[in-house]
Amino acid sequence: MGNRYFEVLERASSFLEKQGKEGYSILFVFLERKGWTKTDWLLHLKEEIAPEDERQINEDLKKLAENYPPQYLLGYSDFYDRRFLVNQHTLIPRPETEELVEQCLKENPNEQLTVVDVGTGTGVIGISLKLARSNWQVTAIDISKEALEVAEKNAQRLEAEVQFINGDGLKPMKDTKIDILISNPPYISNTEWALMDESVRTFEPKTALFAESDGLAIYQQLAKEAKKILKPDGKIYLEIGFQQGLAVKQLFQQTFPQKQVHIAQDLSGNDRMIIVSSKKEEG
């Protein structure tokens, strides 16, 4: 009898572990490719492995050993209970960004609002918001044409009516007054770059990760541009690096002295969001 599924995957997994990689990633990719649930896996694991499955596992293993992200191998990633296409022109969506979407939805009802998602990447923020709030008019902007192609495909597949614009920051919106700005901009600084996971540094698009001025350059740009077009009672939701809370809070407080600027934490307890909202009424 030839190799069985579990033997091949155990070997692959321990090969990755020995190289200091995530051993589980090969099983994750394998099950996704087969469309198998954990129950299917339990039913099949002692069966003799099909030659084409073994070939695929070996191919995937080579890539994973070189830090190639599993999501790029598969061509998709899950975000906010939906599946989004991803490729090397787009960031892989992170769970922290789901929390940003959640926060924005929690605080804003389904009324007619003009909402802009800057640096949309795969489109996860703008598309998730539109699907949850049909009355919002959502525009998603990105500087990368390649990323926008992916975002547009995602919007079509998920049937979300989002307007996509190739542009820099809020510049394309200069004649429009907006209710909500939301963004997960590039915020990795020079000093943090060295601490990043190798798979991120090697394979994910640098323009979507990296920013000048200690990672604050895009926030400075967005604060300046938002000041001109945000409605008086408009709100801003930004994802930030875990060490940037105070600096970004200060920046937006100076730009919007009449508003309340709040640092919010993610589920891990790290500073992860800046929320700019109208001052709460006293009494």
Q: Please, are residues 251 and 220 in contact by the beta-carbon 8 Å criterion?
A: yes
Residue 76 in any domain: the answer is no
Q: What is the CA radius of gyration of the chain?
A: 21
**Which is more confidently placed, 210 or 275?**
275
**Are 194 and 87 in a shared domain?**
yes
Tens digit of each residue's pLDDT (9 = 90 or more) over 220-254 = 999 999 999 999 999 999 999 888 889 999 999 99
**Are 91 and 56 in a shared domain?**
no
Residue 138 main-chain phi, psi, to 5 deg: -105, 125
**Are 12 and 92 in a shared domain?**
no
**Residue 187 labeled ligand binder:** yes
**Are 150 and 99 in a shared domain?**
yes
**Are 32 and 144 in a shared domain?**
no
**Residue 75 labeled ligand binder:** no
Please count the structural domains in the chain: 2
**Residue 167 labeled ligand binder:** no
**Are 87 and 126 in a shared domain?**
yes
Residue 75 in any domain: the answer is no
Residue 125 in any domain: the answer is yes
**Residue 123 labeled ligand binder:** yes
pTM score: 0.91
Residue 176, amino acid? T
**Residue 185 labeled ligand binder:** yes
**Residue 176 labeled ligand binder:** no
Residue 183 in any domain: the answer is yes
Whole-angstrom distance, CA of residue 97 vs CA of residue 239 = 7
**Residue 122 labeled ligand binder:** yes
Distance of CA 127 to CAs 5, 141, 267, Å? Answer: 38, 12, 23
DSSP annotation of 210: B
Domain of 57, in residue numbers: 5-66
Residue 72 in any domain: the answer is no
**Residue 2 labeled ligand binder:** no
Residue 276, amino acid? V
Residue 248 in any domain: the answer is yes
Tens digit of each residue's pLDDT (9 = 90 or more) over 89-131 = 998 999 999 999 999 999 999 999 999 999 999 999 999 999 9
CATH number at residue 88: 3.40.50.150
